[in-house]
Structure 1
Amino acid sequence: MMLLVPADVLRPRRPDEHFADEAEAARQAGIDVAVIDHDAFVRGQADGAAVDRVPKSADAVYRGWMLRSEQYAALVRALAGRGATVRTSPEHYRRAHELPGWYPAIEGHTPESVWTSGDDRRGFLHACAALGCGPAVLRDYSKSMKHYWHEASFIPDVADRDAAWRVAGRFRQLRGDDFAGGFVLRQFESFVGAEVRTWWVEGSCRLVTAHPDTPEHQPPTKLDLAAVEASMQALDLPFVTADLALRDDGRWRIVEIGDGQVSDRPRSTAAAELIAALNTEDRAQPTRSGGNLLDGDVGLHAWKRMLARREST
């Protein structure tokens, strides 16, 4: 395994400060670390120089700032020119990064969702009609604007088409050039408490942490993921995060899937814990942040399967 991180803008031979602790944890674990010019891919001007410090590798994992799907594909092509193969392919990244890619596999464990292709009003109103009536949360394929909740995220009733379109217009304005794919309308569900971020490698939950927005709220000591495990395995993705929230009826729901390479780590979780979870040579049981074993049988079946595969090779 090799860890790829963005380079510091002012000191391009060093990791970006935000990912420096993960780079150091990887080195301490005996994992090679290389830096890339993240901004070159964002500008669409990437060439060999953007990855010229990356050595040949058969199992590279990126940990860095978010990239659009086409930007990530450009990164993979540039790395291939250096003889480096990433664990997550462009197709895998798109399926994890964009809601239409991951929604079908977990449909029974997440709020009902409909989406458009593009940002025209006609398509948006068709989506509203498909959802029916009642409150909804608006986003695009890759991101919400939840910090602008009332003006660009929450729709009190999708049956009020004019009011819904005003929210959509403001959302589109705020997203600007970052708007991805189309509008997504998700049925509103009432949640209580802070979200929990779970980290999945090869279909197995390897780590449970607080959500980066609420790093001070640690995950519960007893979190049974058995209900969602089969759906997460059905995604068939190498490295993803799933954010869970407790609905007011006491049921845990998946509110977001993300590619693990660009999912932020809460500062309350040590970098070494995430690196250990990523290291597929280390088949340690999944842990919750802080190093305590998860209670119950969380990920147990997947853990046994991984052990069996390892013993058979």
Structure 2
Amino acid sequence: MILLVPANPLRPRRPDEHFAAEVDAARDAGLDVAVVDHDALTRADELERAVASVSGNGAAVYRGWMLRAEQYAAFAEVLTGRGVMLRTGSEQYRQAHELPGWYSDLATVTPRSVWTTGADQADFDRARGELGAGPAVLRDYTKSMKHYWHEAAFIPELDDRKAAWEVANRFLQLREDDFVGGFVLRRFESFTSAEVRTWWVNGVCVLIGSHPDTPDDSPPTTVDLAPVTPLIAALGLPFVTVDLALRTDGVWRVVELGDGQVSDRPTSIEARAFIAALLGKPH
């Protein structure tokens, strides 16, 4: 197994500091490690340069910054030409990385959602009508702007056309060129816990920890995974994260599913335990 991580922008032969602990743990576990140029991965004419430091052959896992699904597909293709196969295929990456890819399979355990294709206001209004009156949370296919909650994420009343579009327009301003796919409107649900990030390898939960946004909030001692486990397993995805929160009625709900390669590890999960879990080896 090869672990691929972004290079340090200032010292391109070395891993980015954000992933240094995981690199050390991977090497201690006997994995090969190679760096890739993340910025070059986002440019179609620089893909070969982006992976120039990758040698050897066999299966690989990427641990790095988010890539658009089409960028990941190009990344996978150029690696295949060098004899390296990403364990997560490009279609699997898109399915996990973009909400429309996983929503229907998890619809019973996550807030009701509708989405658009693109950022047209008329399509946004259609989605508003489809979801129906009441509060909602806005995002695109891959990300919300929850740190701008009242101006670019939370819509108090979808029937208020003007106010809802003001939130959507602000979201577009903040996301700029990073806007992916279209608007996603999710029915607002009230939660009583911080989000818990769970890590899954081949449909099996291997780690439960805090969410990176709230690393000091320890997860509850009991997280009921029974309703979601068969659904996650049925997705057939090799490496994903599932963020959950406890609703006010005591039911655990899926807030987000993401590709594990580009999901941040909270500081409360030790790197050696993380790499061991990724490899399916108890730490």
Q: TM-score range by the shorter chain?
A: over 0.9
- Percent sequence identity over matched residues? 64
For residues 136-169 of structure 1, give each alpha carbon's deviation from its aligned partner in whole angstroms, at most 9, with x where no partner exists. 0000000000011111110011111111111111
Question: Which residue number in structure 1 is paired with residue 194 of structure 2?
Answer: 194
Structure 1 vs Structure 2 CA RMSD: 1.1
For residues 12-44 of structure 1, give each alpha carbon's deviation from its aligned partner in whole angstroms, at most 9, with x where no partner exists. 111000001101000001111111111101234
> Tell me, what secondary structure is at the counterpart of 1:170?
helix
Question: Which residue number in structure 2 is paired with residue 230 of structure 1?
Answer: 230
Q: Give, in angstroms, the shift of residue 57 of structure 1.
A: 2.7
CA contact (8 A) 2:140 2:182 kept: yes
User: Where do 4+ consecutive residues of structure 1 move more than 3 Å?
Assistant: none
> Tell me, what secondary structure is at the counterpart of 1:45?
helix
For residues 147-204 of structure 1, give each alpha carbon's deviation from its aligned partner in whole angstroms, at most 9, with x where no partner exists. 1111111001111111111111111111100000000000000011211000000000
Equivalenced residues, count: 283
> What CA distance in whole angstroms lies between the structure 1 residues aligned with 2:177 and 2:222?
42
Q: Give, in angstroms, the shift of residue 82 of structure 1.
A: 1.1
Q: Give, in angstroms, the shift of residue 58 of structure 1.
A: 2.1
Q: Superposed, which structure 2 residues align to 1:97-176 within 5 Å? A: 97-176=97-176
> What CA distance in whole angstroms lies between the structure 2 residues aligned with 1:95 and 1:46?
25
CA contact (8 A) 1:4 1:35 kept: yes
Q: Superposed, which structure 2 residues align to 1:279-294 within 5 Å? A: 279-280=279-280, 282=281, 284=282
Q: Give, in angstroms, the shift of residue 125 of structure 1.
A: 0.3
> What CA distance in whole angstroms lies between the structure 2 residues aligned with 1:192 and 1:44?
44
> Tell me, what secondary structure is at the counterpart of 2:133?
coil
> Tell me, what secondary structure is at the counterpart of 1:59?
strand
CA contact (8 A) 1:46 1:74 kept: no
Question: Which residue number in structure 2 is paired with residue 11 of structure 1?
Answer: 11
CA contact (8 A) 2:3 2:32 kept: yes
> What CA distance in whole angstroms lies between the structure 1 residues aligned with 2:115 and 2:250?
27
CA contact (8 A) 2:25 2:271 kept: yes
Q: Give, in angstroms, the shift of residue 49 of structure 1.
A: 2.1
Letter in 2 for 1:164: A
Letter in 1 for 2:79: L
CA contact (8 A) 1:13 1:35 kept: yes
> Tell me, what secondary structure is at the counterpart of 2:261?
helix
1:218 lines up with 2:227 in the alignment: no
- Which ranges in structure 1 are unaligned for 5 or more consecutive residues? 285-290, 292-313
Question: Which residue number in structure 2 is paired with residue 269 of structure 1?
Answer: 269
Query: TM-score w.r.t. structure 1 length?
Result: 0.88
Q: Give, in angstroms, the shift of residue 56 of structure 1.
A: 2.9
> Tell me, what secondary structure is at the counterpart of 1:118?
coil
Query: TM-score w.r.t. structure 2 length?
Result: 0.98
Q: Give, in angstroms, the shift of residue 106 of structure 1.
A: 0.6
For residues 190-229 of structure 1, give each alpha carbon's deviation from its aligned partner in whole angstroms, at most 9, with x where no partner exists. 0112110000000000111110001011112222211110
Question: Which residue number in structure 2 is paired with residue 37 of structure 1?
Answer: 37
Q: Give, in angstroms, the shift of residue 236 of structure 1.
A: 1.2
> Tell me, what secondary structure is at the counterpart of 2:194?
strand
> What CA distance in whole angstroms lies between the structure 2 residues aligned with 1:223 and 1:144?
24
